[in-house]
A and B are shown apart, each in its own frame.
Chain A
Amino acid sequence: DVKVTQSSRYLVKRTGEKVFLECVQDMDHENMFWYRQDPGLGLRLIYFSYDVKMKEKGDIPEGYSVSREKKERFSLILESASTNQTSMYLCASRRAVRSEAFFGQGTRLTVV
């Protein structure tokens, strides 16, 4: 079974802190994604990576950056956390030649 693991289920951070959300997949997938989920807005793509050190902005990249130094790990970075970044964050991965994406269990981030 494919496993996508996010480092935390719940996280509370202070405004202005630098926050790292980590995601690891164990199936050698080329593509990895970070989505943000908010009530009434569905899932919105923040960034995705189609290979090591390759990244592309999604629909809402402002205030975020990403890092992919190894194929299995994709990190989302909030450079200076703000209260409007309080949300559920979902990581996903996918093999480039197949359609199905697999998701992590989500990280609920609260910025106070």
Chain B
Amino acid sequence: AQTVTQSQPEMSVQEAETVTLSCTYDTSESNYYLFWYKQPPSRQMILVIRQEAYKQQNATENRFSVNFQKAAKSFSLKISDSQLGDTAMYFCAFMRPGANSKLTFGKGITLSVRP
């Protein structure tokens, strides 16, 4: 079974600075997807970024980028130029490829951006 570990329950960052959220996972699969989801106080879960394991290049979406280390089974999220709207819970998630696959989530991290 796959497991996803987010060991930091909370983090805080000053507006405009950079913050990195950590995630590790365990799997015996060679191909899979990794995700970061954001859940703001409105509770609407939104996909931030996705990485496919067979792609060596790290995914980037505007101010959000990942550091994917396949051998180390590490998948961290870097948020550059932090904004107040980035305040949210962030969940790391794993999924095998395939038609009937399910997402396995970490416990999440609460990120607070200070003005």
Distance in angstroms from A59 CB to nearest chain B CB is 9
| Given A40-B9, A40-B107, A48 contacting B47 (CB threshold 8 A) | no
Q: Are A88 and B43 in contact (CB under 8 A)?
A: yes
B6 CB contacts on chain A under 8 angstroms? 42
CB contacts between A and B, total, < 8 Å: 56
Interface size for A (C-beta < 8 A) is 25
Q: Choose, from A15-23, A65-73, A77-85, A95-103, the stretch at the interface.
A: A95-103
B95 CB contacts on chain A under 8 angstroms? 99
Distance in angstroms from A89 CB to nearest chain B CB is 11
A90 CB contacts on chain B under 8 angstroms? 45
Q: Which of A11-53 contact B (CB under 8 A)?
A: 30-31, 33, 35, 40-45, 48, 50
Q: Are A58 and B102 in contact (CB under 8 A)?
A: yes
Q: Are A100 and B107 in contact (CB under 8 A)?
A: no
| Secondary structure dominating the interface of B | loop
Q: Are A97 and B99 in contact (CB under 8 A)?
A: yes
Q: Are B99 and A50 in contact (CB under 8 A)?
A: yes
Q: Which of B69-115 contact A (CB under 8 A)?
A: 91, 95, 97, 99-100, 102-108
| Given A99-B50, A103-B44, A103-B45, A50 contacting B100 (CB threshold 8 A) | yes
> Which B residues lie at the A interface, using CB under 8 A?
6, 9, 33, 35, 37, 42-47, 50, 52, 91, 95, 97, 99-100, 102-108
Given A33-B102, A100-B47: 18 more A-B contacts, CB < 8 Å: A31-B99, A33-B103, A40-B9, A40-B107, A41-B107, A43-B91, A45-B103, A48-B102, A50-B99, A58-B102, A88-B43, A96-B100, A97-B99, A99-B33, A100-B50, A103-B37, A106-B43, A106-B44
